[in-house]
Chain A
Amino acid sequence: MNAPVVFEGIGASPKRKEDLRFLSGRGNYTDDINRPNQTYAVMLRSPHAHATIRGIDTAAAAAMPGVVAIFTGADMVVGSLPCGWLIHNKDGSPMNEPGHPPLAQGKVRHVGDIVAVVIAETRPQARDAAEAIAVDYDVLPAATSMAAALAPGAPLLHEGAPGNVCYDWHIGDLAVNQAAFAQAKHVVEFELVNNRLIPNAMEPRAAIGDYDRTTDQHTLYTTSQNPHVIRLLMGAFVLQIPEHKLRVVAPDVGGGFGSKIFHYAEEAVVTWAAARVNRPIKWTADRTESFMSDAHGRDHVTKAKLALAEDGKFLGLHVSTTANMGAYLSTFATSVPTYLHATLLAGVYTTPTVYAEVKAVFTNTVPVDAYRGAGRPEATFLLERLVDVAARQTGIDKLELRRRNFIPADAFPYQTPVALQYDSGDYQSTLAQALKTADWDGFEARRAEAAKRGKLRGIGISTYIEACGIAPSAVAGALGARAGLYEVGAIRVHPTGSVSVLTGTHSHGQGHETTLAQLVTDRFGIPLSQVDIVHGDTDKVPFGMGTYGSRSLAVGGSAMVKAMDKIVAKARRIAAHLMEASVDDVEFDRGTFRVAGTDKTKSWGEICLTAYVPHNYPIEEIEPGLDETAFYDPKNFTYPGGCHICEVEIDPDTGICSVINFTAVDDVGRVINPMIVEGQVQGGVAQGIGQALLEACAYDASGQLLSGSFMDYCMPRAGDVGTLSVATHETLCTHNPLGVKGCGEVGAIGSPPAVINAVVDALRDYGVTHVEMPATPAKLWHIINSGRRAAAE
């Protein structure tokens, strides 16, 4: 086999292998799949935020044309949709963990809660019948906001959660923390909201249940980021189907951003019902259902205090957060405001003591769970706003204040006061590079020029860190995780030398089919076209934990490296046999086996063929074949970080805030495919700008979702993002074999505070210290208008 003419290994930017099918409409999404004799399900959803169900009359609906079956909670008595992370209260007691039945059991707790499923020959027939179901609701008062849920006498969502509290958790040493505040020269206090977001993947969720009664085999096709996790959760906890009788397929998935990690009710409903009706059942959400049933993100209210010495050194941070869980515990909801949020509150700073307490609250809203960044954006927004507020209060320049408190580049590994140990980073360098790219020093001239045009120009910065590839399993387990956090990679070398990689991660837009293949190309020296990535099918891939938390390369890629190590070790033994040399003398470098110091070589293709045609082969010592599997459990998180700078202009007449320039310099560790990294960061930044300026999930007091469509929920468009400059500055991860850190979430984590810091800077003459997200035109106009009034009075 010839070596590739064009280098396609680590550091190259070949075009994405998957894009031909995506861009030509040939992707294979769940809704594209049709099974013989398939029926269609429509979920009847609650129009009320909180109600008891006095009765459900399905008789008229059942008699309608095409109806195959109708099931309610009375029919489907199964296990609860599980929560994957047990959090303990301050007093050591376990959190309140009320059940989440797939179909409502006598009570509905949010608009969109599923009351019944109608299965019919066609989707319109199922919809007609769903409208004919008469549900007798006794509507109860709703608690939509956390304040309402925590108020005395608030409506109680769950018998098992008094006061609507899920848990009241903390981390850090309070006494040490209080002592730090006693020493402080300055104490900066601050309150903020991290706004609730609706993820809105381009592809709505869908699920097909299929059952073969001759083999008792269940198959679920679903829009999931982690099919093995769904198989485990649904099989073991909800439906009691053993793994060997349950196949979960997650084919092409059109975006997830976390919202497709979780095990959703509809997956269990179609799997369970398919066996009951003995026919395949397809359910596909329409966009309205997506708004009211996909897990939402963020939704924190936080009070923070920062203690500073006279020279601006941070002495201590105290954070009190309430976090909205929504009506039920979604799969990983409980871990987001705790271990994915509070553990990041040291940020990139040497703050010696951090104490954080988090109260998680049930409300009559859609469940909240991980959404791109998950906890880390909330921590970053809080910290990076707080540092700006502290700079203003102390009179220390905001860059200088950051520099004085950065963890120095020579201090790694660095143990934070909130459990994490950072392995590498270089915050002064990412800052310096971003300042230069953004022409920070030229800003005041640009501001003056904008003022001549009647515009308010502002610049904002965020120096952030995040944690990816959550691990190790044993530590997470000790903290309450109910899953392993390793990944699986199987390298199947075929007789002619091409390779299929079976990975437990899942690509739903990230470009794994290209990036992961580049690892193989780089190691084995075979062209990218000779490597295929297989994912998303529990019958093909041995096992896996899926894709979330920017883990695919750092954890999944590392598993592949381990498996490739095994392949190379075995291949060297075969080569040694063929070349009559000692294994220790056989070197392998990108496609060529060589006896060290000689011109004796064997090619990759020769060794692969020999492994499968073992005529001249050390058959007594090693088995034929080249097919190895590895499980990789990371030693630590990875810690991407960097610097984001945003420059905005506000039109004071309308309040419209335009992003003019956005600069991102991110340390994502070793970059495998720079083009894909750039795209990942661009997408993340666009979502961060969306959170900062546009996206507002709004409920009214009765629990109706006011932002229930794109008419009212504002997603970022290309024109909202401004000119985006993305660069990387590498420091390598020290504990995984690739040195990679992850790039999927950095954009969404680092950007919101940069945007809001820029907005606040633009409004510096209006007496503003903070603007809550999203900074909509109406909100900014009111601030400017009242600022004008204040100036006039």
Chain B
Amino acid sequence: MYDFEYHKPTSVADAVKILSADSDARPISGGQTLLPALKHRLNKPTSVVDLSGIAELKGIKRDGNKIVIGAMTRHADVANSPEVKAAIPMLAMLASGIGDPAVRNRGTIGGSVSNNDPAADYPSAVVALNATIVTSGRRIAADDFFQGMFTTALEPGELLVAVEFPIPEKAGYAKMRNPASRYVMAGAFVAKTGGEVRVAINGAAACVFRQKDMEAALSANWSPAAVAAVKQPADDMNSDIHGSAEYRAHLVTVMAKRAVAAAG
């Protein structure tokens, strides 16, 4: 780890002030990605801005037909939240399966969504549930937020404050874990909200994406069999020592099928 300045602001405004003043400053929430990178000297920020002292970033509440989750809410809190379990049980289930207990008790939804790791769990839920990302300065639709591998619509100095999830009629999630890292190798989050069907695929490509053919198939016939017939092209799939693009493309269909089955 290289030396850096440490800040622990108590308001979003103060955090944004520090981050805006220095493009090499980095916010840290649960630290499940940044800390290992720092320890391996893969990242050399001038300052680390610890968000854990900002009360307004924490908490889960139901707001009409939405669940609003503060950026600093840990995965374990989402997994165990009565509000989330009642309104979007599949989101609680997703949170309960992220990483391992240590990760779930440190990692936060804001950190995961902001980082946009292609193999992370949350981005698929955000996209499939058509969530809104609330930042320190604006509101961003899920479809506009995730832009590429580790890339989002967040501007320098802009902080993710909360994620608003509309409550769906149906939702399901299934994933294949990478045997070694247990990150997502291919996952599918399917949802029907206000009559609209969305299918978001994570893990398999450089960035979470909507599988529109599956959405069309499910709109016509909400059933596992309907998505089972949709083949994911292998062209843009990841390929590495753990699996070929062809394998991942196949897993996309398998996971989508299982996600629909899980959604009921």
* B-binding residues in A (CB < 8 A): 124, 127, 131, 288, 653-656, 694, 696, 698, 706-707, 710-715, 776-778, 781-782, 785
Which residues of B have CB within 8 Å of A656?
Answer: 176
A710 / chain B contacts, CB cutoff of 8 Å: 180-181
User: Separation in Å of the A707 CB from the closest CB of chain B?
Assistant: 7
| Given A288-B40, A653-B254, A654-B254, A782-B244 contact (CB < 8 Å) | yes
In the complex, B55 has a CB within 8 A of chain A: no
Provide the B152-186 mask, 1 if CB < 8 A to any CB of A, else 0: 00000000000000000000000010011101000
Q: Digit string of B31-56 for contact with A (CB within 8 Å is 1, else 0)? A: 00000000011000000000000000
* Number of residue pairs spanning A and B whose beta carbons lie under 8 angstroms apart: 46
User: What residues of A have a CB within 8 angstroms of the CB of B242 in the complex?
Assistant: 712, 776, 778
Assembled-state Cα–Cα distance A714/B183 (Å): 12
Inter-chain CA distance A192–B128, complex, in Å, is: 45
Collect the chain A residues with CB atoms within 8 Å of residue B222's CB: none
B251 contacts A711, C-beta separation under 8 Å: no
Complex alpha-carbon distance, A778 and B238, angstroms: 13
Select which of A696, A706, A713, A782 is within 8 A of B247 by beta carbon.
Answer: A782
Most buried by B among A288, A653, A713: A653
Say how far A719's CB is from chain B's closest CB, in angstroms.
11
B250: chain A residues within 8 A (beta carbon): 781, 785
Q: Are A124 and B1 in contact (CB under 8 A)?
A: yes
B243 at the interface (CB under 8 A from A): yes
Q: Which residues of A contact B247 (CB under 8 A)?
A: 655, 778, 781-782
Q: Which among A127, A654, A714, A781 is the interface contact of B180 at CB below 8 angstroms?
A: A714
Closest to A693 in B: B179
C-alpha spacing A288/B176, complex, angstroms: 26
Contact digits for B134-164, partner A, Cβ 8 Å, 1 yes 0 no:
0000000000000000000000000000000
B215-254 to A contact mask, C-beta < 8 Å, 1/0: 0000000000000000000000000011110110011001
Q: Which residues of A contact B244 (CB under 8 A)?
A: 778, 782
Contact B179 A776 (CB under 8 A): yes
Query: Is B1 a contact of A707 with CB atoms below 8 Å?
Result: no
- The interface centre, meaning the residue of A777, A778, A781, A785 with most chain B CB atoms within 10 A of its CB, is A778
Which residues of chain B have a CB within 8 Å of any CB of chain A? 1, 40-41, 176, 179-181, 183, 241-244, 246-247, 250-251, 254
* A694–B243 alpha-carbon span in the complex (Å): 13
A-B contact pairs, 19 of them (CB 8 A): A288-B40, A654-B254, A656-B176, A694-B179, A707-B180, A707-B241, A711-B180, A711-B181, A712-B181, A712-B242, A713-B180, A777-B243, A778-B242, A778-B243, A778-B244, A778-B247, A782-B244, A782-B247, A785-B250
A715-B180 Cα distance, complex, nearest whole Å: 7
Residues of B within 8 A of A288 (CB): 40
Contacts of A654 in B (CB 8 A): 176, 251, 254
CB of A145 to closest CB in B, whole Å: 14
Q: How far is the CA of A598 from the CA of B161 in the complex (A)?
A: 90
- Complex Cα distance, B244 from A713, in Å, reads 17
Assembly CA distance A86 to B181 (angstroms): 41
Taking the closest CB of chain A, its distance from the CB of B248, in whole angstroms, is 9
Bound complex: CA of A776 vs CA of B180, how far in Å?
10
Instruction: Report chain B residues within 8 Å CB of A653.
Output: 254
Q: Beyond the given A696-B241, A785-B250, please list 20 additional residue pairs across the A-B interface where CB-CB is below 8 A.
A: A124-B1, A127-B41, A131-B41, A653-B254, A654-B176, A654-B251, A694-B180, A698-B241, A706-B241, A710-B181, A711-B180, A711-B183, A712-B180, A712-B241, A777-B176, A777-B179, A777-B243, A778-B247, A781-B247, A782-B244
Report Cα–Cα, A655/B244, bound state, in Å.
13
Hey, which chain B residues are within 8 Å of A715, CB to CB? 180
Bound: A127/B183 CA distance, A = 30
The chain A residue with its CB closest to the CB of B179 is A714
A-chain residues with CB within 8 Å of residue B40 when the two chains form the complex: 288
- Smallest CB separation, A455 vs chain B (Å): 14
| Chain A residues, CB < 8 A from B179 | 694, 714, 776-777
Whole-angstrom distance between the alpha carbons of A694 and B179 in the complex? 7
- Provide the residues of chain B in CB contact with A706, threshold 8 Å: 241
